[in-house]
Chains A and B, each alone.
Chain A
């Protein structure tokens, strides 16, 4: 039995698991996403349990589609949840902003999982500004427990207002663990009904103007709600005030002493009167929040508007940093302003040179062969490598150093087109299968349409590997009662009118290299599909047939071509010898093809 659907009890849950459980307890009927860390595990749980609890859950092709699916469901009166990583909201923002106009009938909560410090992202944008941009009320939980409770509140607020609610988490909430009390899972509503109201839901200009007025009225009501919300509360005593939200609250609560805290959970619209009242009799106020001075600027504005002369410290005064996530040590840096809990001194450790340990492509990862073959095919020519988002982004590290330009999901193809028009350089673009369906297809259509010239390599490992092996349109989906067929990439690409298309096996270096050479000669858009399942996914599904290679030390002349050019983590030097770590090697055989002395051989098992 799956513990997470239990009727009651306590579990030690990841924030994301608590959020998934919150969806069940809130009676969410429809949930949609495109996987993105730090939000991915929510989908992992829902994929597993949705059918059991009577929820519909889908992996959409991208976040915009997910937003549209959820938005439509909420318009029928059902509760809908859509979730994504912070940059996903950029993709979905088109639908999101206008949903702020139409509003919703059933509760709709939009989760943006922000990633301060960019642990696994291309930037660390602060998505709280989307709530201002779209005039959509926002909640910010501080802990996994709050994450579940606040999600349920979010649906209530959404329904009361008739507006979507933005629910903003950060990595340290999504990936923190805490003890979670399970509460009742209600019967989940299966079918909504869409009552037509074109004036509201068809946003032609004349209607949008009416929606705008309705939206501003909702905003007024939201302001009242924020004032009275139990999510915004005052704690402790003291003449120094701290205003805080999100995970920063946990650091303040444990390590700052003698302050009165105004903890905000309903952060936009900000509770103006509450903030003004809190500030009035303080000696000074410190605003403690990660990333942008979002609340701090609100506090400054409110102080000014209420003629409150209390000094406000925070990012604007240089007391707190604007980059990266906070931690207890950053709180300690406030000790000139306020007293901080006494701590033991860290050990006095002599600095010695330690080797770096960057993440890398797994042992036997098919992308390694693809990149190696591409490098060989390119040879001494100068080629611009336009890369995309997924495991293969790790190919940017030496020795493969495959990657010159990367912006966002799908950008490899559009940018390759740009480079091909702007320069005389040869261009190669790399994109994964899931990313191709997410945002690559329009770029490829554009390339055909506008006569761009580049080689596109689709790294088809039959899954969405980076975020934990979710399905996508190219894999099809089996989900209880319904299944969908996989959409094949080769005929799709041919159907778009691409003149050169070839599918290769990246474990076969010669064949892959030959196809790449041909593609580089081709005048136009050439597409190579390097198809081989991700071994990690196979392992999870217990479908991996593992082989084993070893180095014959007699034949090996210690040229180190294999370790230096291929960098499979199962392959390394011990003294002068090259050895293969048997627990890691999966037997892909790529290293054997690279070895000039044929010293790497398959072991019979």
Chain B
């Protein structure tokens, strides 16, 4: 078995932390893991990507186009930008909260309508799971927990090789003690939100 996750987002959103949580869970479960992340310039608010591969004999740190089993996007247009990594069986978990790039606030580029992006994504794939993770996180205590909401959502994805409890445990291990409660609730919120959508598939 090999399972490939492509994660995308914007610098500062905690993409790398989330990928560590997933990677470490897989390691504790005894799976082989390879990962690769983009650093450097991208930390200053640019696009960030991370690839996680788990299972037997995973060696290469990157996956081919169409090679993801799961695409986890922290931001809607970054999700769209990365659709080339998905195939018709790929589950696409996408945060619907936009982060407006500087090119847009300066008026050089335009940010497409959110509904339009999701509709376009859905016309390409029947496995899109839009989650307003930022809103859910705010509901449970703060935008900072967006990360946990998305990890929770991932735990709900069909065929995802790690169990809900295992993921939650790794997540809580990584967050400071005083924020554990809030993150646990955020995680649960994400899990439920994704489950509800998945039930409709």
Contact = CB atoms under 8 A, between A and B. Distances in A.
B66 A347 contact: yes
A332 B103 CA distance: 35
Contacts of A569: 45, 102, 105
A491 interface: no
Contact of A247 (B20, B33, B61, B109): B61
B103 A355 contact: yes
Given A119-B41, A346-B66, A352-B120, A359 B46 contact: yes
* From A177, A179, A357, A567, residue with most partner B Cβ within 10 Å: A357
Nearest to B65: A346
A355 B106 contact: no
Given A12-B23, A583-B143, A347 B125 contact: yes
Given A176-B36, A177-B33, A572-B105, A344 B44 contact: no
B40 A358 contact: no
A172 interface: yes
Contact of B60 (A120, A254, A361): A254
B62 A349 contact: no
A12 B27 contact: yes
B110 interface: yes
Secondary structure call for the A interface: loop
A267 interface: no
15 contacts: A119-B38, A175-B38, A177-B33, A177-B35, A178-B35, A331-B64, A347-B84, A349-B124, A355-B77, A355-B101, A359-B42, A359-B43, A359-B46, A360-B44, A398-B106
Contacts of B106: 398-399, 563-564, 567
B44 A361 contact: yes
Given A38-B40, A179-B32, A354 B112 contact: yes
Contacts of A251: 60, 62
Given A347-B88, A573-B105, A172 B65 contact: no
A255 interface: yes
Given A177-B34, A359-B43, A360-B102, 5 more contacts: A143-B34, A177-B35, A343-B66, A346-B65, A567-B106
Contacts of A356: 101, 103, 109
Interface of A: 10, 12, 14, 37-38, 119-120, 143, 172, 175-179, 247, 250-251, 253-255, 327-329, 331-332, 343-350, 352-362, 391, 394, 398-399, 560, 563-564, 567, 569, 571-573, 583
Interface in B79-107: 80-81, 83-90, 100-107
A357 B46 contact: yes
Contact of A179 (B27, B108, B117): B27
B37 A349 contact: no
Contact of B59 (A12, A143, A177, A331): A143
Contacts of A394: 41, 44
A354 B67 contact: no
B39 interface: yes
A327 to B, nearest CB: 5
Nearest to A119: B40
Nearest to B50: A177
Contacts of A583: 143
Given A178-B34, A355-B101, A362-B45, A398 B108 contact: yes
A398 B103 CA distance: 9
Given A119-B41, A177-B37, A346-B87, A355 B64 contact: no
Contact of B33 (A12, A355, A398): A12
3 smallest CB-CB distances across A and B, nearest first, come from: A120-B40, A359-B46, A572-B105
* From A347, A354, A358, residue with most partner B Cβ within 10 Å: A347
Contacts of B200: none
B192 interface: no
Contact of B39 (A175, A247, A360): A175
A119 B40 CA distance: 7
Contacts of A361: 44
A253 B44 contact: no
Given A10-B27, A362-B45, A345 B40 contact: no
Contacts of B66: 343-347
A12 B123 contact: no
A178 B77 CA distance: 29
A594 to B, nearest CB: 14
* From B10, B41, B80, B101, residue with most partner A Cβ within 10 Å: B41
A352 B112 contact: yes
A575 B32 CA distance: 48
A564 B107 contact: yes
B67 A344 contact: yes
Contacts of A179: 27, 32-33
A37 B59 contact: no
Nearest to B38: A119
Contacts of A332: 64
Nearest to A574: B100
Contacts of B60: 247, 250-251, 253-255, 328
Given A329-B65, A349-B84, A359-B45, A254 B36 contact: no
Contacts of A172: 36, 61-62
B104 to A, nearest CB: 5
A353 B44 contact: no
B11 interface: yes
A244 to B, nearest CB: 12
B110 A571 contact: no
Given A179-B27, A357-B10, A346 B85 contact: yes
Contacts of B64: 255, 327-329, 331-332, 343
A209 B39 CA distance: 44
Given A328-B62, A359-B45, A343 B67 contact: yes
Contacts of B23: 12, 177
Contacts of B102: 357-358, 360, 567, 569, 572
* From B24, B59, B120, residue with most partner A Cβ within 10 Å: B59
A178 B100 CA distance: 33
Nearest to A567: B102
Contacts of B65: 329, 346
Nearest to B142: A583
Given A38-B40, A255-B60, A362-B45, A354 B124 contact: no
A357 B110 contact: no
Interface string B1-43: 0000000001100000000100110010000111111111111
Nearest to B40: A120
B101 A37 contact: no
Interface string B52-70: 0000011111111111000
